[in-house]
Each structure stands twice: as structure tokens, then as C-alpha cells.
Structure 1
């Protein structure tokens, strides 16, 4: 149902057609009329396609669609569907644009032919009746259809075929197509604005003539008729969006700002037309006011559209991060061959070559090469990260000086970048509670505006109908609920985009509003306040107390012991073993490839192995006693000190003698203490939640400056602990690593997942942080506070504007033209104030 097909049908229509087609309302061709029986009545159609569509609509019990079409509006004959719809059911094709969840799949479709609320009603109601479809929602302005459905019950091709039978051609949503649609809307707006500008310039000369004495001469009537000739097409063409919006608001019983605008210009135009037709010498014409007003309002609408686009451009900037092409490697007779292909041609399992300075086109695993990647677009961190063989790389990150060969594991829709884009779009289209309140207020606001305009007209009637008309029109125009309606969505949209650029993904606007008021933070210990991996913090022998961070060299005996212990531990997969081997390698004591013999592991107790003929035991003190190993007094004293500080330790024995103690700890994450200090300074309560021993948890809390400690809690009981805190009357922010903390993240009033970026964290958390930088938690809190403050400022600006300007208009101190200038300024002020949120982190860095 495209514009070009409509024009072609009109061109083919015969000039002597007597009535329109029942479905599309286009003229019936003289020689090709198609008859059909609809609800027992014979109707005429311009083609077989229109008859089929009408029969389908009535057969589905959706005949009310035709009652909702505005009189005189034309649809278009149904589009010709491609024969290749079945290809959209192929798994490899759907991977590109269908998101598959646990319960349902989600697809976004761009629908051609959607032109009014009647189309929205028809599409949504017809799809919701289909088995397997859980949700169908149409965005009228973007012609975008979102469907949640069960693919096993309804193939996508059948859904597209159903839309085709209703007269709409749907294809998978492409951001480039949406961008073209936005440009097309702006182009139409510019045309209407240009037409109004042309009429305004010509009417200006007529107005000058009338104001300088021509209104008293013989040419008065001529000038009035010329003004009518210029104002009439301007009102019809340039004013069409306002009349259309006003009509829909009346029909849906939800008055919007288009209604008072349409009433104001219509009354002014009709009065001027009355004076022109009657030739009255008492009244004046205001055609210049009508045209000037429309021009100024259209300029304001255009500036608003551009400002909104700039403020909401974060999603497009994220989309632009994915390259449009990639270099694919394929095996050839003489080795690998490279070819430059469109990113859409890349499939999972393909190998992709990324040269220095290029962006990573897909999510994947490094097969060959090493390089440093700039991951600032994901994590907000500008420090490059080294990636080698086996490392995971993400779409949109910038390659450094090395060349990489990557095996594709995820395309845009399922990549980390794709998940970010999806979350940002959802957040920007969500509605916070304060916004829902504003949305309910706006219709009442419009009704109050109409009442005030009527009261002003009646009050000023005694001063003459012209004065009463001008005052009432000024009141209709000057009042502006637009600013009130945009106060929240613009702020949330800007905040969501800003957060995404700094590695803070906010799921919806409601989260920002809730987070700003919560003052109780609960932190998981392991992986959140600590790094989540064991590190060797001390090695105690009979002769030396060695610590890696003190930069003191090990003596020969201690170095030899660490090497031999590492040669045994490298055969184990335990985190403690990994910490010991890592420390040995850092001290350039790399274990030999094959040295340990007779290796055995005893889970929860320790390991045993033979190196160079000596039998080594590494494990807990109780296990060593069971193996008849004698204790060492110096090591017992060191172990007591470690336990007091909450540090875990194991013992090392060789040939029945205890030789060393190895202390291991999960170190405090960088920035943790600074974060806790800042939150405390802001009056927040802090709780440490951990499954570790209380002694260990309390030691960590002490290092962080002290806080409430809840320790020895099993992972499955963490959400119960959060519920107990909430039962005490506290709203809780839970900060965890996003994997084993999923239940508690869901239970909390606001869940913040730190640094995992996994599907689990995105599903369970309200805010996902894409780096392990704890400063992001504080930044998320600052962002929420700044957003809510901006929303309140915007609402205050809107109310202040109306409380000042409306009384002035009712007093007759504001002309309609001045009102037309000030009304869009109030909306632009709200947009500009919301845009100031984007300076939050910039100023912090400065």
C-alpha cells in the first residue's frame, strides 16, 4: 500500500467513474469493476485484491475498521506479496532479525500502508486473534510493528501473509529504512513550512496596504479576496497535520495540543471569511494572522523534531558502530582466500579478518593474532585491552595495531552491542510513573485551555467581536501542554543514551525514578567488592615471610619451593592452584612442562605429587595431620594471624615435614573503598552480603571502612535476605556480579549487575554495568538523581510558563502571533534542559 501504487491506480482510473471502491476509496474504473458480497450486501471494488482484503476483514469480524476510516481518506489496493515469504521461516534468515527468548520470540516489522489509527486497530486486533501471538503493538509514527509470538505455533511467513491479506506489506525492520522514514516526514514538514512561508510573504504586502489606508478605499474588498485566496490553500495544506491530530484526539476522547490550535486558526479564518463574503465595513480580516501563525508553529515543530532527533540519536550512534562490511576468510587450494562481503552475509562459524584500525564487525573468538582493543563503546573505559588467541571480542570495538582472525559466535542481533541497542530502545520508549501522571494530566490541561478561551471570549465580547476573537485565539495558542508531556520522556531518553555511552545500561525509565530515592545499598562480596579470584598474598617459610606486593626478592630456598609447588598445582583445576601457578609465572619461576608424578587430588582437602623423587602434600592443616605431617610452630603462629585478618591459608609439606604456609585472598576491588565512602557521605546505609565465613566477611568490611555484615548466606537464600531487609521498611539497591546473584537482583527494588554483561544479568538486573569499575555504581545513582531533578525542572518550567503567559493572554496583552512564537519556545526549552543531562559525566571528568 505504497504512495506510488496509489498514484498509479489513480492514473489508471477512468474519468467517468461514478463511485469509489468499497475498500480503498479510489475511483472505480469504467470497464474493470469487480463485484463482491460483503455482509449480505453487494459491493463494488476496483480489483480482485481489494475484494479479497474486504472479505478477509469482514470474515474475521473486524468490519469496524471501515467505520474508523476518516471520510474522504483513500487507502491503496493491497500490495503484491513476494513468492519467497517461506524464506523468512529459515533459521539462518531469522537469526538476523528475530530475538528468541525462553517464552516467546520477538520480531520488529516495518509495515507499508499504515496511515491512520484505523490501520493500527485493524493490525493489532487481527494479529492478537491468531494462535501463538502474545503481543502485537504498532507504532503509527514509525510504521513499526512489534510482535511477541510462539514460532512453533505460527510461522513468520504466515504472519506476513496474513498482513498481506489485510492490505499491508511487512518486512523485517531495518534501521536504515526507519531513518529514511524520518527523513521523509521531515521533508513533508519542510514542504508545508515552505508553502506557509510563501503565502506569508505575499500576505505581508496585502497587510501593509490594509494597515496604511487601503482598508478605507475602493480596493478593500479586492485585498480581502486576495488574502482569502492565499490563506485557504495554506490552511488546508500547511494546517493539515493539526486538523488531523485534532480529529483523532476527539475521536479517541483524548484531547491533545492540536485541538486548541485547530480551533484557534479555524475560528479566525472563518470570521475573516465572513467579513470578506459580507463586505462588512466594521470587521477586520485576519488572514495574515492565520498564515503567520501556521508558519511559526511549523517552524517550531520542525525545530522540535530536529532537537528530539539529536537528543535521541544514541541508538543510531550505536548502530553506526557496526561495520557494514567484513573481510571473510575461506579455505582455498592455495591457502586462505579473503573476500569483502556485506555484514549480512556473515554467518556463525565464519572466520573474519580484522586489520589494524578497523572495528570488530561481529562477536567472536580470536583464532590467530594479538592486538589491543579499545572497548570504550562497551565499558566506557578508554584504556586498551590486550586480546590474544582464545579471547572474546565484541562487535563495534576498535582494533589497535595487530591483525586478528576471528571466528564468528554472534551477529548484531545477539551480540553485546545488539543487547545494548535493544535495552536503550526499550528504556527510551518506557514510561516512568511521573510520566504516566503527566500523560493523564495533559487531556485535562487541554480541556481547561478550551474553557479559559471560551471564558475570555465571553469576557471580551463587550469590547467587540474582533478583540474577543483575538484574545480567545491567543489563549488557545499560548497554553502549551506539549512541554509538560515531553518533560519526562525527553529526560529519560537522553539519560538512557548517556548511560549506554558510559557502560551503564538502564532497562526503563521507572528504574531511574526509583533509584534516585533509595538510600540502602546491599553489595555482594565475592566478584563485586572483591575481584572474585584468589591471589597469593604471602608465602611463609622457616626463613622468610615473602609478599608479592612488597617487591622483595625471594631467597633461593623459597623460590625453589614455589617452583616445585607450582609444578604440582598446575595439574589441578582448583582456583587456589591457578593463583599459585600465576604467582610463580609472575616471578619468572615458570613450572616445567612435565615434572610432577603420581599426582592425586582430594577435593576439599588438598593435592599430592612427587617431584624429583620427593613427595609433596599441599592442603589444609587437618588433612596434613591425617597424613602424619608434623606441625611447624612458626607456621601455626602465621596461620593464627591470617585467620584473624580473614585471610585463607593452606600448608605445604615435603617428605613428612611441614615447610611453608601459603596465604590466599580475594583482594578488594580497586575503587571499592572510594565508592563506599562516597555513598556513606551521601547518607546511604551499606550492607555486605556474603556466603563466606563471617570472619572473612568482617575483615573485608573493616578494610572498606565498616558496614553491616550478613555472612555465611547460601546463594539460594540471598533473595530471602533481601526480602527481610525490605520487611524492615527499607527500599534496597542490590549490587552483584549478575550470575549467582540473579534471584537477589530480581528481589531488590533496583538490581545492578556489575561487569558481567551476560544474558543472566540482563534478564535479572534493572541496570547492567558493562565494566568492573565500581565508580559506575555511583555514576548510575548520580544519573538517576540528575534525571529526576531535570524532570521536575521541566515540569516546573512548563507550569511557570503557563501560569505567566495564560493570564497575560487573557488580559489581551499577547497577540496570536506572539503566542505562536512563545508556544514552541517553551517546548524547545524543555528539550534543551533535558539535553543538559548529557554534560553530567563530561563535567565530572573536567
Structure 2
């Protein structure tokens, strides 16, 4: 029996586990002493807002705490919400809205790399996330957060809800500063008009307006200019240089020169308070639009997570009640009505209906779900009233894992980006050097005012942000949008690698073929057995009972064929003892003290079992037809052979043709007989064949190809393909395959459509082309604009207008990758996914 929910974690409290503890004078229920202790720590730290709830009853994550209040993150009970494995080596994703330029990435990664106990620090520029891997025995999480705070980055554990709230808060703050700068700009403009209209000719009026402008500029610089000044301070404090250093130098130089003119009215120079406020306003506009554009370009993972409902209908004691998904336990039952999305991964307990799984597979066709079938969170229940047993919730669901992998891909770095990161600190240093040189030249040739304006323009015009955004934006957009169309890219760097792959190696069964083997014939060593129906049924039932223990596609096909032939039920299978599966060879097991061995001819031959000549002749004949043979032995004697066939995937032929047209080498890698594999290769238009390869040898085949200087992509779906998928430069797994193969691959085709391989190749080329375009545009911008600024042909105001535009061009170009999956683009490529 289930009681009330835990006050801390929201989990239902099983009978007998209820713990009552007073919190601020009110007795609260807890499911364990750990939750009770953590709750006390949170209240003592003044962090009661942790328990604020959304309208649907879901617990919110803790808000960003001050430095002194992060110690409660050291508790395992708290970390369990953000850390998957609570062993000594832990990994967490933090978020910080203070990350705003590529120099921030360099600063954080280099600072954290020097901290003892930190194993990895990788910054996702586009999502403002920091992935930290650390040794918890050496270092506390709170110390990591405090270290980040010390260099100017308020970091908190990443949560989708808190991330969105932080994003909105940061944008709102930026809008306030932008609005204030705009108001100040309008007022200072009137003062400037008055001065230019003749007031400057009167010394008293001139001095009066200068003072008014000084007051407005001082307040505006302190408030609206704070993001730039603060960024520059933390950067210099960490002995680094970022873009904010250049901008702040330009602003302060202009401000202090204008102040000096104001304090010395006898000087005939001009003040540039209006210019200072104008380019602060324009820089803030650029930063605001950049933040919005960047968020729209990479919000695919957020949209994916929004597909998962936050509440569910819990069925308990014959009644239904709405509860937060977070509070559900494995094994509980929920009701999913027609038109609802499944809130969890589960198994249908009762009911039948059609389910649309387009958000996972990329295909809109509906699938019938009935008793025993699995359903996934986020998919749509079309017309059935289903009772579903909870198997996984939130981040443990298939959807949750996809979102995590998409975020990982968006935060990963391609080799070309690593080069850009190394250049970044030098870029800003060169910028400052050029500004100083420009200032010195114009100071001696045109005076202090021209020197200040020119030097400031150089500082403002240079934009390493565009250079730093070039790669991560393109990878983030490509990874996010492809996931929505059934191509899950687990590592963004693979997009660059895939473009250079010149050899594609395909597993046969389940990859180039449908993987649904069908038994076509039974042939017995003793012809009389076929005449004795009872004896034949007994033998088929025995060997099928052994095969039933295996998950191999051939074994499943044999068990299914016998089950359908004799209308067997689950209780009809014979008891099998000492079952053993030998990858690439076969299976064996004992039934009533009799040993049954079912597998390849090569395996039985290695066991010194005699293969009857009549069966060899029959096997050779079927091999010519492309059939696969499974040999059966009972008590050390070969008694028969079963023949199976597997139809080719309808899209396989077109895929092979397209890859060849791109100049790629294609190889069929299979454990089947050479003649069987060759027949499949011929049916697909011809390709190199490597057959009769044991699972452990597939890895060696890939290694040998790589040793010849080839970049190899492996496409497979089975457990035996996992080592080869890992060894290959790019591993591609079908979503219909095993979990092991999908875990081992770099790219997962959720819709199991082979044409998606071609789509991924073209997406890779498109992404790399976009990256190169972005880098070229940012370099071209600086090559053109910096000399113009040094020549005195650009004012600081013009520099403030063009600088953010270069970043927006990069973001806009990266966002165009979304058009890759448009209906028009799909038709042009031939209609594949």
C-alpha cells in the first residue's frame, strides 16, 4: 500500500518507510532519513524555494544560490537529481548565463583544468552549459561551483526548467539595461543638438551641457555598461583577455577623455558622451538579438523535452488521480486516454490502440499497441484507452536519453573548433595591439581626439565572437534538427568526421536486410522422420525450445516458425538446462539429459560431428538461393538442417547506388557463408564482400581497413557489431537494433530507414560547408573592417553597429541548416528521411 508523497523528493512513500520530522515547527513526511537530512540542510541555508511547486505539482529545481549556500549540493541525495552515477568519478552539467563569448569558453576550460580533481571541463558555448567530470573523493561539487564563481561565472546544476527560467531572467535583465541606454541616448541627443545648434559658442552653456552629459553618461556606463565592464574585470582577474576587455577599453577611453575635457573647460576639444551612450545602446541591441537568435537556433532539445507530459493519471485502488511524473514509481500503473501523450516509458497492461511514434522514429505511420507491447514517453496515443505499467520516467526514458545525447552532441567540439579555441586569446591580444598602434599613429599625426576615436573604433570593430560561434552554432543546429527527424547524432564532432569517410562497411542481417528471418524448409538426415509427424514435431519442439532461449534473429525466427506451425503457447516450451550461446557459432542446451546443439556447419564440424553428405548437397543448393542454413545435432549426431531467408530492405539498393555515386567504397561484412553474402551483394548492384567473419573478428576487419589509411564508417544493428561500431571512425546503428549497438554508435537511425545514412552523409557535408562559410565570413569581416577602422574611416558608432551584425550573420547562416529537412529539400534528395 502506498501512502503520501515525500516532502523533499516527491516520491510516493511505501508502507513502513514513513519518517516524520519537524521542519520549522511543522511535521513533514519523508521517505528516508537522507531526504529528511537534506531538507533540514536546505531550510538551514534559507533555500526553502527549493520546494516551490508549479501549478501541476512538479517540484522545481533550486534557484541559483549565493556562493556561501552551495554546500548542500555535496549531498548525494541532492546530486542524484543531476548526476547519473554516484560513484567516485562523477559527471554533471552546470549552467551559467555569464557565458557570452568564445573567450569565456577558453577561460573556464583552462581555469578548471588546473583544479586538482577535475577530470574534464567542457563548455557548450551555444547552450551556456559546462560539463564537469570530477573525482568526488578529491573534490566537492560545491568547491567546483565556488571556483567558477570566483572567475565570474555563477554556475548551478542544469535543469531544463531552471535553464529556461535563467534564460528569461538574463534576457529580461539585458532588456532593462538596453531600455535605460535607449532612454539616456534620447536625452543626450537633445543636449548634442543644442551644442551643435550654437550653444557651444557660449562658454557657459557649453560647460553646462557638458556636465549634464557627464552625469547621464556616468549613470548609463555604470548600469547599462556593467555586463561589459564586469566581463572585462573577471577576464583580467583570471589573467586572460576576452572580447569584453576590448569593448571596455574603448568605452573607458572615450569616457575619461570626455570627462577630462569637461573638467578643463579651457580646453577646446569635444566631448563624446553621446557617442559612448550610442554605441553602448547598439552593442546591447546586438547582444540581445544574438541571444534570441542563438536560443531559437538550438532549442531543438528543449522542444523534444516539452513533448513529455509533466503529469500522469495514476491508477490506484480502482481510482485515478493526477500526480507529477516525478513522483511515479516503477511498477505502478497509469491510465493513458485517447489523444494523450505517454508520460513515461512503459508496458501495456490492458487495452489496445494505435500509437503515433513519429517523434522518436521520424515516421508518421501509426502502430498498434496491445498487451505486453512497450510504449515510449512523448509518443501519442491515438484511439485506445490503455493501462500502462511504469518502466522508466523523466531522464531515464528513451526520450530523456535522446535529449541528453542531443545536448551532449551540441556541446561537443569538432577538431576544427578546437583550432578556433586556441586562436581566440591571441585574437583579442592582437586586437588590442592594433588599437594601440592606431592610437599612437593618429596621436602624432592628427591629435588626441582622432587618436581616441580611431583606437576605440578598432577595439569595438573586431569581433572574435563570430569566429567562436562559427562551429558550435552549426553543430548545435544540425544535431538538434536531425534528432527531430529520426537521426540521433550523439557526438557533434562526428559530423566533421563523417564528411571525410571514404569506406562504408555494412553488416548484412538486420541492416541491409529486414532482419526478420523466415524458415523456408526443414530437411532431415533420415527421410523417414518427415513421414513420422509426431517424431518430427517432437524434434522441432526440442530444438526450438533451445533457440527460444536466444535473442539472435535466426534463433527468434526458428522459435517463431515452430510456434506458428504447431500453435504453441508459452507453457508449451520445454525446460532447457545448461543453455549456452556461442556468438558466431550457435547455441546449445540440455533437454531431459539430452544435449542439443544448433548452429553453423563450421561449428559442428569443429566439434568432430559428421555432417551427412545428403545434407551438404541440400545446403549447397539452398546457398545458391541465398538461404542461410542452421544445422541441428542431438546427442552428438547431426539430425537435420533448417533453411532461412531474409528479404533485403527496399531502400538498400538505392542507398548503395548513391554512396557509390559519391565515390565511396562499400563493403558487405557478414558471418554468413561467402556464397550467401555474395548473392546479397550482387542483388544490391555489387560490392566488396568479407564473409564468414566471427563477431570478435569484425573489429579486426575495421582495424585492418584503417591501417590502410581509410576512414571507415560501420553500419550495424546487433550486439556482435558493437566492437566494430566503436572501432570505426563513425559508427552508425539502426534504432531497431540492440541497446548495446546503439550505445556503441556515434549516430543512431531511430526510424531504421537505411536512406537516413545518405541523409546523414549529406547533412555532414552541409554542416561542414556552413562551418567553413561562417569562419570565412568572420575572417573576411575582420580583414575588411579592421584596416578601415585603423585608417580612421569608421567611427566608434559605426563600429558598434557592424560588430554585432557579424555574429548575427554567423547565427543566421547556421540556422539555415534547418532547411535541410524541408519538404522541398527532401524531394530534391529523392524523398529520404
* TM-score when normalising by structure 1: 0.75
Secondary structure at 2:190 match in 1: helix
Corresponding residue SS for 2:334: strand
1:194 aligns with 2:194: no
Shift of 1:570: 7.2
> Any idea what SS the aligned residue of 2:387 has?
strand
- Corresponding residue for residue 223 of structure 1: 209
> In the alignment, does 2:237 pair up with 1:251?
yes
2:437 corresponds to which of 448, 451, 455: 455
> Residue in 2 aligned with 1:693?
673
**1:472 and 2:462 matched:** no
State the secondary structure of the residue aligned to 2:338.
coil
Say whether 1:836 aligns with 2:826.
no
Aligned to 2:231, what secondary structure does the other structure show?
helix
Partner of residue 338, structure 1: 320
1:321 maps to which of 304, 307, 315: 307
More RCO (CA 8 Å, sep 6+): 2
Determine the structure 1 residue equivalent to 2:3. Answer: none
- Give a deviation string over 1:668-716, Cα, whole Å, max 9, x none: 1231111111100000001111111111111111111111111111101
SS at match of 2:753: coil
The answer to whether the 8 Å contact 1:521/1:684 transfers is yes
Deviations 1:453-482 (A, max 9, x none): 223223333233222322222222122111
Match of 2:6 in 1: none
Give the secondary-structure state (helix, strand or coil) at the position aligned to 1:522.
Answer: strand
Q: How does 1:68-467 map to 2 (within 5 A)?
A: 78-79=68-69, 89=76, 96-100=81-85, 104-108=89-93, 148=133, 173-218=158-203, 219-280=205-266, 282-330=268-316, 332=317, 336-461=318-443, 462-467=445-450
C-alpha separation in 2, matches of 1:695 and 1:834: 48
For each residue in 1:212-250, what CA deviation from the matched residue of structure 2 results, as whole angstroms up to 9, or x when unmatched?
A: 222112411111111111111111211111122222333
1:359 aligns to what SS in structure 2? coil
Of 786, 796, 802 in structure 2, the residue corresponding to residue 816 of structure 1 is: 796
Does the residue aligned with 1:364 lie in a helix, a strand or coil? strand
Q: Pick the aligned partner of 2:704 from 716, 724, 730.
A: 724
String of CA shifts for 1:804-844, please: whole Å, max 9, x gaps.
22222223222221111111111100000000011112143
Query: Measured at CA, do residues 621 and 209 of structure 1 come closer, stay the same or move farther in structure 2, by a change above 3 Å?
Result: closer
Tell me, yes or no, if the aligned pair for 1:142 and 1:181 is still in contact at 8 Å: no
When residues 714 and 571 of structure 1 are mapped into structure 2, their CA distance, relative to the original with a 3 A threshold, is closer
Q: Which runs of 5+ in 1 are unaligned?
A: 1-48, 54-74, 542-556, 610-617, 653-659
Q: Cα distance, 1:109 vs. partner? A: 6.3
CA distance in 1, matches of 2:344, 2:622: 47
The 10-residue stretch of structure 1 (200-209 or 398-407) with the greater mean CA deviation from structure 2: 398-407
* In the alignment, structure 1 residue 519 sits paired with structure 2 residue 499: no
2:483 alignment partner in structure 1 = 500
Determine helix, strand or coil for the equivalent of 2:511: helix
Which residue matches 1:483?
466
Q: Cα 1:815–1:685, aligned 2, differ >3 Å: closer, same or farther? A: same
CA deviation map 1:761-819 (0-9, x unaligned): 34422222223111121111112111111000001111111222222222322222111
In the alignment, the residues of structure 2 paired with residue 188 and residue 649 of structure 1 have an alpha-carbon distance, to the nearest angstrom, of 70
Q: Residues 77 and 112 from structure 1, CA distance in 2 versus in 1: closer, same or farther, beyond 3 angstroms?
A: farther
DSSP 3-state at the match of 2:645:
strand
Q: Distance in 2 between matches of 1:832 and 1:726?
A: 37
Contact 1:196 1:238 survives alignment (8 Å): yes
Unaligned runs of at least 5 residues, structure 2 = 1-40, 46-64, 525-530, 581-585, 592-597, 605-609, 633-639, 828-833
Residues 1:699 and 1:806: Cα distance change in structure 2 (over 3 Å): same
Counterpart in 2 of 1:845?
A: 826
Given that 1:564 and 1:591 are in contact with CA atoms closer than 8 Å, whether structure 2 keeps it comes out as: no
Query: Deviation digits for residues 633-659 of structure 1, max 9, x if unmatched?
Result: xx999865532232236899xxxxxxx
Q: Quick check: 458-467 or 719-728, which moved more?
A: 458-467
1:369-404 superposed Cα distances (whole Å, 9 cap, x missing partner): 122222122121221222221112111111111121
Q: Map of 1:376-775 to 2, 5 A cutoff?
A: 376-461=358-443, 462-536=445-519, 573=547, 579=557, 641-648=621-628, 663-737=643-717, 739-756=719-736, 759-775=739-755
Q: Tell me what 2:26 maps to.
A: none
With over 3 angstroms needed to count, the CA separation of the structure-2 counterparts of 1:394 and 1:241, relative to structure 1, is same
**Structure 2 length as normaliser, TM-score?**
0.76
* Structure-2 residue corresponding to 1:19: none
Native 8 Å contact 1:128 1:135 kept in 2: no
Contact 1:606 1:620 in 2 (8 A): no
Instruction: State the SS of the aligned residue for 2:349.
Output: strand
Shift of 1:269: 1.3
Is the contact between residue 566 and residue 581 of structure 1 (CA under 8 Å) also seen in structure 2? no
Match of 1:18 in 2: none
The answer as to whether partners of 1:572 and 1:601 remain within 8 angstroms in 2 is no
| Greater CA drift, 427-436 or 500-509 | 500-509
Distance 1:432 1:533, change over 3 A: same
Output one character per residue of 1:257-302: Cα deviation in whole Å (capped at 9) or x when no partner: 2122111111111111111111145211111000000000000000
In structure 2, C-alpha distance between the alignment counterparts of 1:529 and 1:808, rounded to whole Å: 58
Name the structure 2 match of 1:43: none
Any idea what the Cα deviations from partners look like across 1:477-503, whole Å, max 9, x if unmatched? 122111111101111111110121122
Pair 1:810–1:160, CA change in 2 (3 A): closer
Q: 1:760 Cα shift?
A: 2.4
Q: Deviations over 1:514-549 (max 9, x none)?
A: 1111111111112211222312457999xxxxxxxx
Out of 519-528 and 663-672, give the one that drifted further. Answer: 663-672
Could you say which structure has the larger radius of gyration?
1
Q: Does residue 779 of the first structure (1) align with residue 759 of the second (2)?
A: yes
Q: Give, in angstroms, the shift of residue 123 of structure 1.
A: 15
- For 1:763 and 1:619, how far apart are their aligned partners in 2? 28
